[in-house]
Structure 1
Amino acid sequence: MASVLEAVDQRTNLVGENRLELLMFHLGGMQMFAINVFKVQEVVQLPKLNLMPHRHPSVAGVTHFRGKTIPVIDLSESIGMKPIDRSQPCNLIVTEYNNTIQGFMVGKVDRIINMYWSEILPPPDGAGRQHYLTAITRVNERIVEIIDVEKILAEISPYDGTISDDVIDKDLLSLAKGLEVLIVDDSKVARSQVESTLNFLGITVHQATDGKRGLQMLKDWAADGDNVPEKLLMMITDAEMPEMDGYTLTREIRDDPRLKDIYIVLHTSLSGSFNKAMVQKVGCDDFLSKFQPDKLATVIQDRMRQVIYKE
């Protein structure tokens, strides 16, 4: 399997070019599924699993990986399909999401393919597994379904959106009325979680489901005569999105004189150290790992102080 992942170390060259690499695999049938290689640490044959009491039905057990005990999730069962048949060859995809390590049990791993984000499309309305898909694409005329892993993880370990009392600046929040933020993210779970924090802070929320739609929204506002950098407190964008990723979205904004001064926060479940470097490369103003309400609230309030108090 190491040969399958030889290209992983080269993946950073794709960022900012609206390109990505997908790791494709099966879940027991002929249908092909995929996740972004950015989130993959290693692919190995399924090791022995130890059962956990009171585990979520989709968690097949735990295993030891490089000195850590990690949960192993049956990816097929977690999206409403039959559990993986462990009497057949199985693989474990070890991933990092939101600073946590977990393994996904799958069937046969196929290969890695290099694509443009413009070739990655939102799932069509009425798609049977749309509930758990973040996007689809075509490879050799075959549909490949890209799984919304953030939704799966949120269902297994529900997100706590509570903001700590000591994080909130109540004097500052009294001045939040009228402030607006644009969220750009293809994951409904991620958008709702950010929206919850923003609503708590009293901020008006606009949403777009991918970079292309987010950019068009910004351009429409500018065409209508709005001073968009003044209209928006900030834009919070995911990195991975169909049609246009967050890095390309940022570059397009910086190249538009009407939009270039928008304050942009990259908000992603990808590797923190990697994205901090990418913030500088593509011109974002800040970086934040997903699903950390206290840190999100802190970033928002810091920006509010800059705008309101001119700090």
Structure 2
Amino acid sequence: MKSENHSEILLESGTNELEVIVFKIGQETFGINVMKVREIIQPPPLTKMPNSHAFVEGVVRLREEVIPVVDVAKALRFPPSANPGHDKYIVAELNQQKVAFHVHSVSMIHRISWEQIEKPAELSQGLEGSTIGVVKMDEQMVLLLDYEKLVADISPQSSIHVDKLKVLGTRERSLKKIIVVEDSPILRKQLEHTLTESGYADLRFFENGQDAWLFLDQLASNDHVQGYVNLMITDLEMPKMDGHHLTKKIKSSQELKGIPVIIFSSLISGDLKHKGEVVGADAQVSKPDIANLVQKIDQLIL
């Protein structure tokens, strides 16, 4: 399932645009970044697994790979499908693993700008913080779920944990100043804890690329970059401004281009890794490899 612009968007870098596959759970409309999606299939025979998570229906075999199936409706506390014959599996890859999301129907692909995506207010967010963005599309509101959080809730070992730093051994405290750009509140807390444990405690967090850019641009205009920022870590998928566009703006700025930028995302593979290279990222690390992230920081600023 591809749009006519699919090949074009893969070749572009730092456009602050994405393509979203729109699907339904009950009467509600949701979207998922096409870069997460490997294929959309009819539900094949399912094998139940004993003692599995309540949201995991079982596993399916696709070309010799065994992939868990997540019932998105159950995860969101929605009723089961009223028309199971229309159901689809969205096979996605994130956090270095594949998972099939069981949805009730799939409609089409839309190309949009990250600027169109609004962060939901806390009172309207619902779904226990599982929604990271809302976009108005064709007179309907499309919710973007935090798929990494959904997978991490089911498989905690796939998330960021301080125990993964043990391979680095004993470390000294650093005075280097790091900016972290991450829209997920849970991941911000995890990164704060793990980076502090690794010795990097002078951290400033931003929840989207636009806010981080405004801060950096102000520093640049006042000639205050030196001493305020030694390195930046950025996610890719964020409302208002994504990580590729943010990186491109930094590396295009005479005053800011010397700041090392590490892209830390669940989408570091293939075409997206190439796009990160094109916009000038100094390093790219796939979530949740926190030990590799710290090693890259060490290499770039120590």
Structure 2 contact 68–100 (Cα < 8 Å) conserved: yes
Counterpart of 1:36 (choices 33, 38, 41) is: 33
Following superposition of structure 1 onto structure 2, how do residues 2-13 of structure 1 map, counting pairs within 5 Å?
2=1, 8-13=6-11
Q: 1:34 to 1:224 in 2, by over 3 A?
A: same
SS at match of 1:12: helix
Q: 1:52 to 1:38 in 2, by over 3 A?
A: same
How far is the alpha carbon of 1:302 from its aligned partner? 1.9
What is aligned with 1:100? 97
How far is the alpha carbon of 1:169 from its aligned partner? 5.4
Which one is further off, 119-128 or 209-218?
A: 119-128
Task: Quote the Cα distance in structure 2 between the aligned partners of 1:227 and 1:10.
Answer: 35
Task: Quote the Cα distance in structure 2 between the aligned partners of 1:144 and 1:137.
Answer: 5
SS at match of 1:181: strand
Counterpart of 1:132 (choices 126, 130, 133) is: 130
Task: Quote the Cα distance in structure 2 between the aligned partners of 1:113 and 1:25.
Answer: 11
SS at match of 1:259: coil
State whether structure 2 residue 264 is matched by structure 1 residue 264: no
Following superposition of structure 1 onto structure 2, how do residues 205-220 of structure 1 map, counting pairs within 5 Å?
205-220=203-218
How far is the alpha carbon of 1:10 from its aligned partner? 4.3
SS at match of 1:126: helix
Structure 1: any 5+ residue segments left out of the alignment?
306-311
SS at match of 1:288: strand
Task: Quote the Cα distance in structure 1 between the aligned partners of 2:203 and 2:152.
Answer: 22
Task: Quote the Cα distance in structure 1 between the aligned partners of 2:165 and 2:210.
Answer: 34
Task: Quote the Cα distance in structure 1 between the aligned partners of 2:150 and 2:56.
Answer: 11
How far is the alpha carbon of 1:182 from its aligned partner? 0.7
State whether structure 2 residue 240 is matched by structure 1 residue 243: yes
Deviation per CA, 1:41-60: give whole Å up to 9, x if none.
00011122111111111111
State whether structure 2 residue 190 is matched by structure 1 residue 190: no
How far is the alpha carbon of 1:239 from its aligned partner? 1.3
Structure 2 contact 162–197 (Cα < 8 Å) conserved: no
Task: Quote the Cα distance in structure 1 between the aligned partners of 2:97 and 2:109.
Answer: 23
Identity %: 30
Deviation per CA, 1:76-97: give whole Å up to 9, x if none.
2212323445744210000000
SS at match of 1:231: coil
What is aligned with 2:295? 298
Q: 1:237 to 1:57 in 2, by over 3 A?
A: same
Structure 1 contact 134–186 (Cα < 8 Å) conserved: yes
Task: Quote the Cα distance in structure 2 between the aligned partners of 1:15 and 1:300.
Answer: 24
Q: 1:191 to 1:114 in 2, by over 3 A?
A: same
What is aligned with 2:149? 151
What is aligned with 1:112? 109
State whether structure 2 residue 64 is matched by structure 1 residue 67: yes
How far is the alpha carbon of 1:115 from its aligned partner? 0.8
Which one is further off, 273-282 or 210-219?
A: 273-282
Task: Quote the Cα distance in structure 2 between the aligned partners of 1:13 and 1:130.
Answer: 36
How far is the alpha carbon of 1:14 from its aligned partner? 4.4
Deviation per CA, 1:271-301: give whole Å up to 9, x if none.
4233331232101111100111211121122
Which one is further off, 56-65 or 181-190?
A: 181-190
Task: Quote the Cα distance in structure 2 between the aligned partners of 1:14 and 1:189.
Answer: 30
State whether structure 2 residue 163 is matched by structure 1 residue 162: yes
What is aligned with 2:118? 121
Task: Quote the Cα distance in structure 1 between the aligned partners of 2:128 and 2:218.
Answer: 29
Structure 1 contact 79–152 (Cα < 8 Å) conserved: no
Deviation per CA, 1:57-109: give whole Å up to 9, x if none.
11111101121010000112212323445744210000000210110000010
SS at match of 1:162: helix
Structure 2 contact 47–60 (Cα < 8 Å) conserved: yes
The one-letter code sitting in structure 2 at the alignment partner of 1:40 is V
How far is the alpha carbon of 1:224 from its aligned partner? 5.0
Any runs of at least 4 consecutive aligned residues in structure 1 with deviations exceeding 6 A, and if so which? none
Task: Quote the Cα distance in structure 1 between the aligned partners of 2:79 and 2:93.
Answer: 25
Structure 2 contact 268–285 (Cα < 8 Å) conserved: no
How far is the alpha carbon of 1:199 from its aligned partner? 0.9
Structure 1 contact 150–187 (Cα < 8 Å) conserved: no
